[in-house]
Amino acid sequence: MPIAKDGYSSLRYDAQSRDWTHYRSLVLHYRLDGTPTLHLGVRLDGSTDGKARSNLETYLQSGRHTTAIPLPSHQQESSDILSALHTLTLFSSGGMEGVLTIEELRLE
């Protein structure tokens, strides 16, 4: 995913109404080149109309690393989102320029 100077780029994944309630984190194996750090956001959409969503975030460091992004706790609203997840969107912000290579994305 090239990160443009404007700082907004995204990668969208169709989760096809999957149930993620028994997972605790989204694990990302990545390589980041061209910027020392990157503010990465993760949006989980649990509704086709886009009204029920949860935003997660983390900071990625330059080089090759693994990070685990905790999924929302099992509160009622979060549980509803994770029980019928339709879309996973990764996005960047912060005005940096670089390239993020996602080598593996998995749930634990």
Q: pLDDT band at residue 23, thresholds of 50, 70 and 90?
A: confident
Per residue in 50-78, pLDDT (tens digit) is: 555 667 888 999 999 999 998 877 565 56
DSSP state for residue 72 in the 8-state scheme: P
- Say which amino acid occupies 72: P
Round the average pLDDT of the chain to a whole number and report it: 78
How far apart CA 56 and CA 1 sit, in angstroms, is 18
Kindly provide the b/e burial profile for residues 65-89, where b requires at least 16 CB atoms within 10 angstroms of the residue's own CB: eeeeeebbeeeeebeebbebbbbbe
Question: pTM of the full predicted structure?
Answer: 0.77
Q: Which of 2-6, 12-16, 57-61, 62-66 has the highest mean pLDDT?
A: 62-66
